[in-house]
Structure 1
């Protein structure tokens, strides 16, 4: 019997692992439970805001931001049936309407005070629901 991860496209391998790492790290280190729900992205946005307020240098949090962005992407994938796409080392989520979403870049924008993973998920799920 094949699991969902075994049948997913190769492009999903890294972001799915990064997302799982974010879930484990947040549970162990920050005592924050992430359950792949759209509501959990409120907590993720707040976590990134807290990191930003601590004036952490980008280089010190780059991998955390990548993992949290991948987590948000995986939320979109699970909510909408979207799939991960990759090219040149970049990873995007492609929803059924053909749109590409970049949750990893959105996590970086959150760190800069310019984005929201919660709103990205809301927009992606709304776009997918219109089909």
Structure 2
């Protein structure tokens, strides 16, 4: 997923010059991007690649800023989360950033903000440097 996030960021920042720098503050921009995708009433299947890239980016922010690590979900977790991968926090909790981005797309960031998700996330570690 780290490669997926990196490829997505390279593609999006080159073309649009968006400041996706893996900071917590950049998650507000991700909220804005997801809202932009849903604004035109586009079907989720049509933007699934962008949603995957954004989900990988959100997960990578957790990895870089909250001491999380990417993990493959076991069968029960895959059934519960509907995704093959997620992140494990330092306290052992697992979270589903790919699904969180899809929820944000479905409900809108006013209901499912990705920045708020990070700020209220249980089990995160604290890193001071980028």
Q: Name the TM-score class by shorter chain.
A: 0.7 to 0.9
2:89 and 2:125 in contact (8 A); partners too: no
Counterpart of 1:122 in structure 2 is: 119
TM-score (normalizing by structure 1): 0.79
CA contact (8 A) 2:71 2:88 kept: yes
Contact 2:67 2:90 in 1 (8 A): yes
Question: May I ask how many residue pairs the two structures share in their alignment?
Answer: 115
Which structure is higher in helix share? 1
SS of the residue corresponding to residue 127 of structure 1 reads coil
The equivalent of 1:108 in structure 2 is 102
**Which 4+ runs in 1 deviate beyond 3 A?**
none
Shift in CA distance, 71/31, structure 1 to aligned 2, threshold 3 Å: same
Does the 8 Å contact 2:68/2:125 carry over to 1?
Answer: no
SS at match of 2:123: helix
Task: Report the CA distance between 1:18 and its aligned residue.
Answer: 1.4
Shift of 1:35: 0.3
- SS of the residue aligned with 1:60? helix
- Tell me by how many angstroms 1:129 deviates: 4.4
TM-score normalised to structure 2 length: 0.80
**1:72-119 Cα distance to aligned partner (Å, 9 max, x none):** 110011112111111366111100111111000000001102422212
Residue in 2 that maps onto 1:6: none
User: Residue 54 of structure 1 aligns with which residue?
Assistant: 40
Q: For 2:6, which of 7, 10, 20 is the aligned residue?
A: 20
Structure 2 portions without partners, runs of 5+: none
Q: Which residue of 1 aligns with 2:31?
A: 45
Q: CA deviation at 1:65?
A: 0.4
Taking the aligned partners of 2:7 and 2:118, their CA distance within structure 1 comes to 20
Describe the shift of the 1:29–1:57 C-alpha distance in structure 2 as closer, same or farther (beyond 3 A): farther
